[in-house]
Amino acid sequence: MKKPISFFVHHQGRGHANRTMALASEFSKDRPVSVLTAGPHLFDGFSRDIEIVTLPNMIGAGVPTPRLFAEPTPSVMHCVPLGVSEMRRTMRTILDHLDDRGTGLFVVDVSSEIGLLSRVASIPSIQIRMHGDRSDIGHIGAYEAAVGMLAPFDERMEQDDYPAALRAKTFYSGGLCTTEDDVPDKAEARARLGLDPAREIIVVLTGGGGSGTPYAPLTVAARAAPDALWLVLGPTHREGHETDFSNLRELGWVRGVTDYLAAADIVIASAGDNTVHEIARVGRPLVVMPEWRYFGEQARKSEALVRLGAAVSEPVWPGDLAGWRALLDRARALDPHAIRTLYDPDAAQKAAGWLEGLCDELWNGAAEGEDKDENGPALSVVA
């Protein structure tokens, strides 16, 4: 029997879960797969046979006393408050599950602490790589503790400051997009959506991990390009003083995001992993406006996109008409081929093959159940 592969899946947004489902769908059918997450609803309707283990939601869990709350966080970790029962139950549930199933490879998407926990428990782990300023001892420790890292993006998107030794143990899948809708050409997409075939259309896209696109800058944009139709997908954040304009439409969450992207002349979006690769898959000029994320994740990814000529960006949203007009002119001058090459339709298949191959390689030669033998394997551990 093949060794099981287990996933820890962070439940913020939908990207971590969608990526896990894309990978698991490509595993061989006889590979046991389990998912440990505080967001089991994210996997509703997933067709592949996987085991879902519900974890407590640790986010926002209270620390029981002021004295415990006052204890400083050690530099090797990022978020480890003391006295939190939800954290104890989470770690116990993870370890019990991995031990009971005899997990061969634990894919962590994402948590440095859980990656370190896996190494302490003698379970090989993979860290999903994300962009950002992650040279702190906590991240480096988790990367060094892992048997490998999976970067679900093109290697050209790598940061120059990422250590060579860690880069050597990273598998770059190419741009992994979890959306599978067919991509129509621009004319067909506009016909499907009932949009003017000739008018300039600018689509603003918000991912699922934040509070929404700020609406006020978009009202200035609509005034700066009054002949364009601005379509805003996903939530927006209002400050309360905005003036609406007829060429600026808020559509909220929509079905068939791919059709809207295909209908667009320009896309304005944040720098979330799947968001970027959705746009790359369609191949539209991108204005990337990074949202705040821990460790500067989206800012660093935006830098890589601009460096490759795949997008244009500004440090902050333009606040005047001239600023918006200049930014849009730069977007119109982009060659869409640059961003299109960052998407790889076989990325999930490549990543899944690498994970399965690594798992089998790590355990090749182990007798059935040998990892659970209390007498120990042939290689002894010296303290």
Judge if 111 and 215 occupy the same domain.
no
Compute the Cα dihedral for 61, 274, 179, 51 and give only its sign. negative
Domain assignment present for 214: yes
44-70: per-residue pLDDT in tens?
Answer: 999 999 999 999 998 889 999 999 999
Write down the pLDDT at residue 210.
66
Identify the band that residue 208 occupies on the pLDDT scale cut at 50, 70 and 90: low
- Residue 375, pLDDT > 60, answer no
DSSP state at residue 240: S
Global pTM reads 0.92
Judge if 367 and 324 occupy the same domain.
no
- Residue 211, pLDDT > 90, answer no
Q: How far is CA 201 from the centre of its chain?
A: 27
Judge if 333 and 359 occupy the same domain.
no
Domain assignment present for 10: yes
DSSP state at residue 249: E
**pLDDT > 90 in the chain, percent:** 90
Judge if 269 and 356 occupy the same domain.
no
Domain assignment present for 62: yes
Judge if 229 and 284 occupy the same domain.
yes
Which residue type, as a one-letter code, is found at position 165?
Answer: A
Identify the band that residue 207 occupies on the pLDDT scale cut at 50, 70 and 90: confident
149-154 contact pairs (CB < 8 A, 24+): 150/107, 150/126, 150/351, 150/354, 150/355, 152/19, 152/128, 152/176, 152/273, 152/347, 152/351, 153/129, 153/273, 153/277, 153/342, 154/341, 154/342, 154/344
Judge if 165 and 252 occupy the same domain.
no
Judge if 193 and 296 occupy the same domain.
yes
Domain assignment present for 216: yes
Residues 254, 273 contacting (CB under 8 angstroms):
no
Residues 260, 285 contacting (CB under 8 angstroms):
no
Judge if 54 and 125 occupy the same domain.
yes
Compute the Cα dihedral for 164, 165, 171, 176 and give only its sign. negative
What is the C-alpha separation between 356 and 310, in angstroms, rounded?
Answer: 32
What is the C-alpha separation between 111 and 8, in angstroms, rounded?
Answer: 8
Judge if 356 and 335 occupy the same domain.
no
Domain assignment present for 313: yes
Angle at 271 between CA 21 and CA 139, to 5 degrees: 75
Domain assignment present for 379: no
Identify the band that residue 1 occupies on the pLDDT scale cut at 50, 70 and 90: confident
Judge if 229 and 319 occupy the same domain.
yes
The whole domain housing 352 covers 5-176+345-372
Number of domains composing the chain:
2
Domain assignment present for 377: no
Judge if 131 and 40 occupy the same domain.
yes
Instruction: Name the CA radius of gyration of the chain, rounded.
Output: 23
328-335 contact pairs (CB < 8 A, 24+): 328/202, 328/221, 328/224, 328/225, 328/266, 328/287, 331/266, 331/285, 331/286, 331/287, 332/265, 332/266, 332/285, 334/285, 334/286, 334/309, 334/310, 335/309
246-305: per-residue pLDDT in tens?
Answer: 999 999 999 999 999 999 999 999 999 999 999 999 999 999 999 999 999 999 999 999
CATH number at residue 11: 3.40.50.2000
Tokens read off for 18: 């969608």
Max avg pLDDT among 72-76, 321-325, 375-379: 321-325
- Residue 374, pLDDT > 80, answer no
Give the mean pLDDT of 313-329: 97
Domain assignment present for 203: yes
Judge if 326 and 271 occupy the same domain.
yes
